[in-house]
Amino acid sequence: MAFVASVHAKAIDLIKWSLDMTTAAGSGHPTSAASLAHLVTVLMYTHMRYDPACPDHPAADRLVLSEGHACPIVYAAAADLGLAVGKGPEHRRPMTRDDALRLRAIDSEIDGHPNPAEGFPFFPAATGSLGQGLSIANGLALAARLDGLDKRIFCLIGDGESREGQIWEAVDFLMDHHLTAVCPIFNCNAYGQSDAVSPQQTPDVTAAKLRAAGMAVRVIDGHNPREIQRTLEVHASHAYNPTAKPFAIVAQTVKGWGFPSVLGSNSHGKPATEAEKVQALEALDAMAKHLGAALTKGDLRRPPVPAVEVPRPQPAQEAPSFHEALQRCGQEGVLDKGAMAPRRAYGVALRALGHAYPHLVALDADVRNSTYSETFLHDETLRERFFECRIAEQNMLSCAGGLAAGGKLPFVSTFGKFLVRAYDQLEMGLISRFNLKLVGSHVGVSLAADGPSQMALSDVAFFRALSTVRTHEGQPLLYLLQPADAYAAYALTVAMAAHEGPCYLRTLRPDVPFLYNGATAFPLGGHHVLAEGHDLCIIAAGYMVHEARKALPVLKEQGIAATLVDLYSLPFDDVAILELAQENHGQVLTVEDNYGAGMGSAVADALALHGGTYTLIQMYVRQIPKSGRTPDEVLRSLQLAASDIVHTAVSMLDVASR
């Protein structure tokens, strides 16, 4: 029974530390932490294979703490085990108890919720917005499988949290891909933040749901060391058996285990006062005595990290030209038509990049024949790196995060409208500093006939907000890219693969005429001047570049020589745009087919910051659109057609009065 006594002793010790840490911080979740004490002790001290000095080693088992608020229990173990902490590999050092007591301080590596980028690499991903961990675990498992690594991914999920539908998207995905390496552990401590969990989230119902989804399940006492240990061993036996069912654990636990009389199960997100802490520590001592808790040296031993060969990242090759890539897909004929849908060029690029980047992976959500990510899938040599996520965008995005955490370069495609579904998951991925490439197709109103439920209209504003953030290196956190033709779409897809950092590419549904050629360069942050004038600077993006182009000859007839800028990138080169505005007497007209707060507003930011005299009129979608049979019909209904651009330009310059 030495093992049992030792686990109890260690678990109680970690709970005490969690109480200390949260009281020192003045906030945090000691009761949730306590409910996980035994599970975390058995996992981190006896079961997981990892090296404290390098907990993010590619071959090491990983722990995703989906219920991020319970992190103090992991921090306590990390401090005890001397796990590496430090922002960036060069600053790593063993964590100490003093580190733990700096929980949540502004200069601490130990953030309020799991946040590896601040210096705690044991966690593979930021969590805290609930329901995302199992999807991340799925992504890590896929990455490991691609690399031939047999590591296991443990995921601790709260019972209240398992109400999030994303958890069940993740379970279906895990089953689709037979990810036996993932070990979902549901921590059923019976309480959420504001109340007891619903009867729909009891251990029995959760187990029944998992079984209905096809998993093998065992319901255990989450404070029984031996039961935990044995059940983890059952998981191991499933993990390495290709014919076994994926296996999940449902653990019944107690919120505030060991001190329920002090901070009851109803307590959440509240640290103990100093007086309560004294009481809680006493209660824990009594519990230790009652259980015969006693730590014997050597009882808690971790298996070594498997001495496997970790595949070395293969160097990326240069991507071929668009023409060459088209040839390789047998699509070169498309160039003769003079027009091509940018989404289709994206597919061609994705396939070419699949060959150039051995670690590139592609994900889609049952619209691969619309986004053209299927071009990648249809290449026999690439298809094992394509993951069909079905109609479940949240799981797709977090799974992409897990793939990124596992060293892969994920390209995630779906309709721009449906990506909205996963904005929270994206934000969590950005906190993790994952190098995510998102592609939203069918953006703006040019898809027309399907109506507003399928149109991405607020996405430019949302991604623009993210593009105003800078990394620690001073780079934009994210680039928003809007190719206006197929050449631009190809080149920008290549550029986003080469760029170290998240990007969002907006692709268009309709065929659009070529504006560029294979020699045109598309640096991130750039733009192209398509016409040079001196009366008015028209700045457009995406589909609206074509409408603006149609307006140019009509404007010329009216005596207006307009400059036309294809502003395909946010952020952009402020100085260059200001110069173009100045060359046009400060008269600027922006045109976009999404809601406001988008590209035009970014131009307004630049003009207003500069402080000169400018006039900027923004044309954008000012009503909720409806279906129309053609893009033209819809643009006219929104007063965004070429004729509306002409009309606005003429009124703006008051040409009649000249």
Decide: is 567 part of the binding site for its own copies (CB under 8 A): no
Burial 461-492 (b: 16+ CB within 10 A, else e): bbbbebbeeeeeeeebebbbbbbbbbbbbbbb
List binders of its own copies among 131-150 (CB under 8 A).
131
- On whether the CB atoms of residues 538 and 563 are closer than 8 A, the answer is yes
Cα–Cα distances (Å) from 106 to 64, 76, 473, in that order, read 24, 19, 19
Segment contacting its own copies by CB under 8 A, of 163-171, 219-227, 333-341, 530-538: 163-171
List binders of its own copies among 377-406 (CB under 8 A).
388, 390-392, 394-395
Name, in order, each residue with C-beta under 8 angstroms of 115's C-beta and a sequence gap of 6 or more.
123, 126, 128, 431, 432
Decide: is 604 part of the binding site for its own copies (CB under 8 A): yes
Task: Name which of 243 and 314 has its Cβ closer to its own copies.
Answer: 243
Among 126, 144, 262, 642, binds its own copies (CB under 8 A): 126
The backbone torsions φ and ψ at residue 636, rounded to the nearest 5 degrees and listed phi first, read -65, -40
List binders of its own copies among 318-377 (CB under 8 A).
364, 366-370, 374
Among 116, 192, 402, 406, binds its own copies (CB under 8 A): 192
**Sign of torsion over alpha carbons 119, 122, 124, 126:** negative
List binders of its own copies among 65-104 (CB under 8 A).
68, 104
Residue with tokens 């995406």: 542
Radius of gyration of the chain, Cα coordinates, nearest whole angstrom: 28
What distance in Å separates the CA atoms of residue 169 and residue 182, rounded to the nearest whole number?
Answer: 14
List binders of its own copies among 415-454 (CB under 8 A).
417-418, 420-421, 423-424, 427-428, 430-431, 449-454
> Which residues are catalytic, by number?
393
Take residue 278 and report the two structure tokens written for it: 């004294």
What distance in Å separates the CA atoms of residue 542 and residue 519, rounded to the nearest whole number?
Answer: 20
- Count how many residues are written for the chain: 658
Q: Which of 471, 423, 458 is nearest to 88 (CA)?
A: 471
Residue type, 187: N
List binders of its own copies among 253-312 (CB under 8 A).
269
Decide: is 53 part of the binding site for its own copies (CB under 8 A): no
Cβ 128 to its own copies shortest distance, Å: 3
Among 56, 150, 172, 332, binds its own copies (CB under 8 A): 172
Residue with tokens 């596992």: 406
Decide: is 470 part of the binding site for its own copies (CB under 8 A): yes
List binders of its own copies among 207-236 (CB under 8 A).
208-209, 211-214
Among 122, 376, 411, 614, binds its own copies (CB under 8 A): 614
What distance in Å separates the CA atoms of residue 495 and residue 518, rounded to the nearest whole number?
Answer: 14
What distance in Å separates the CA atoms of residue 162 and residue 184, rounded to the nearest whole number?
Answer: 11
Decide: is 568 part of the binding site for its own copies (CB under 8 A): no
Task: Name which of 164 and 299 has its Cβ closer to its own copies.
Answer: 164
Among 574, 583, 633, 644, binds its own copies (CB under 8 A): 633
Decide: is 105 part of the binding site for its own copies (CB under 8 A): yes
List binders of its own copies among 499-558 (CB under 8 A).
none
Q: Which of 86, 93, 140 is nearest to 118 (CA)?
A: 86
Task: Name which of 148 and 165 has its Cβ closer to its own copies.
Answer: 165
Among 2, 88, 198, 517, binds its own copies (CB under 8 A): 198
What distance in Å separates the CA atoms of residue 413 and residue 386, rounded to the nearest whole number?
Answer: 11
Cβ 412 to its own copies shortest distance, Å: 15
Segment contacting its own copies by CB under 8 A, of 137-145, 314-322, 496-504, 623-631: 623-631
- On whether the CB atoms of residues 307 and 479 are closer than 8 A, the answer is no
List binders of its own copies among 22-51 (CB under 8 A).
25-28
Cβ 141 to its own copies shortest distance, Å: 17
Residue type, 408: K
Kindly state the number of chain residues that form the binding site for its own copies, as judged by CB under 8 A.
131
Decide: is 584 part of the binding site for its own copies (CB under 8 A): no
Cβ 479 to its own copies shortest distance, Å: 14
List binders of its own copies among 636-655 (CB under 8 A).
636-637
